[in-house]
Amino acid sequence: MKFGEKRGEVIRMDTYNMIDFNEKKGFICDMDGVIYHGNRVLPGVAEFIQWLHDENKEYLFLTNNSGYTPRELSQKLARMGLDVTEEHFYTSALATAAFLRDQAPGCSVFAIGEAGLLNALYDAGITMNDVNPDYVVVGEGRSYSLDTLTKATNLVWKGAKLIGANSDVSGPIENGIVPACRALVAPIEMATGTQAYFCGKPNPLMMRTGLRMLHCHSAEAVMVGDRMDTDVISGMESGMSTVLVLSGGLGNLIDRIAFGYVTDMFRTLFMNFAVFNVADICITVGAVWLAVYVLFGYEKLEKKSKKEAPTHDGTDLSSDDT
């Protein structure tokens, strides 16, 4: 049976109705932790991408990693044996550049980041300025040092507005985690008493751009990610169906679509209980935490999203018309 072949109109897991992926027009997928860890592609990803091609699905890899350009991401996947062209990528660096271009055309910035962020800013007509910039923009990168941190801190202290490419605190790598943008912005915020504005997920501006690129309505699209605080929340707020990938969850997702079932690993002999596997455990725990987050943490996120973003003219970015 080929990947994605139907067995009934609706995919089910026990008594729970699942998303009918065959009926969805577009797919927005996170990358780190969903497609790969570091330089290692995760199991089932090649089959998933092949299914997207075979079924003529619109898809976009929407990543908060600001360090890479779309071309570099395409080449990275090519080294892993995955054929994905540049137009299928959208990064928080591109979202940041688009935000600054729309809010303050011709502005200048002091930027801390890699080629992905710097190229996006240049392409948006934004100039570099380490004397009196309008904005200090921070992304991930190896150029982060005490000297650049001190320089950025003093520029913000003197009046430059602070922008973060994304609000991720950490990111997954092959042998652990790495500090991400939010962790790198935090010292500047603490030293200056200034709160940064973040352009990546879960900012709805980035999600709306992704849907426009797919030419999809939110009801026709699925968001696939591994973080509840960015991927799942941004998908929910945009009205999309959401899939949370946790430690083997993508393998379960693939098995559900292809075969209508997953391979089970554990069966309790001392009591009459359901047969299950590791991914089922992770999905269940993740669902419980998601419920807790939505019930008790969602209000804080909603209040934060309504705060006014830094602009030249005082425009309130909480409006959907921005």
pLDDT at residue 41 in the model? 87
Indicate whether 282 pLDDT > 80: no
Domain definitions of the chain by residue range? 1-64+210-322, 94-200
Q: Is 280 a catalytic residue?
A: no
In order, the DSSP letters of 108-162 are: EEEEES-HHHHHHHHHTTPEE-SSS-SEEEE---TT--HHHHHHHHHHHHTTPEE
* Per-residue pLDDT tens over the stretch 50-86: 999 999 999 999 999 999 999 999 999 999 999 999 9
In the structure encoding, which two tokens stand for residue 201, read together?
A: 């997920």
pLDDT at residue 122 in the model? 96
The whole-model pTM stands at: 0.72
Q: What is the mean pLDDT of residues 285-299?
A: 67
Q: HSE, CB side, 13 Å, CA atoms: give it for residue 242.
A: 22
* Per-residue pLDDT tens over the stretch 186-220: 999 999 999 999 999 999 889 999 999 999 999 99
* Per-residue pLDDT tens over the stretch 16-55: 346 788 889 999 999 988 888 778 888 889 999 999 999 9
Counts of helices then strands in the chain (DSSP H, E): 11, 16
Q: Is 83 a catalytic residue?
A: no
Residue 15 banded pLDDT, cuts 50, 70, 90: very low
Distance CA 185, CA 94 (A): 18
* Per-residue pLDDT tens over the stretch 121-153: 999 999 999 999 999 999 998 878 999 999 999
Indicate whether 10 pLDDT > 50: no
Q: Which CATH superfamily is domain 94-200 in?
A: HAD superfamily/HAD-like (3.40.50.1000)
Please determine, looking at this structure, whether the domain spanning 1-64+210-322 carries the CATH number 3.40.50: yes
Options 30, 134, 226, 231, the catalytic residue: 30
Distance CA 236, CA 240 (A): 6
Please enumerate in sequence order all residues whose Cβ is within 8 A of that of 309, keeping only pairs 6 or more positions apart, or say none. Answer: 103, 197, 315, 316, 317, 318
Options 32, 134, 231, 280, the catalytic residue: 32
Check for a shared fold between 1-64+210-322 and 94-200. yes
Indicate whether 300 pLDDT > 90: no
Compute the mean pLDDT over every residue in the chain, rounded to the nearest whole number: 80
Distance CA 158, CA 171 (A): 31
pLDDT at residue 252 in the model? 55
SS3 276: strand
* Per-residue pLDDT tens over the stretch 159-181: 999 999 999 988 777 677 888 99
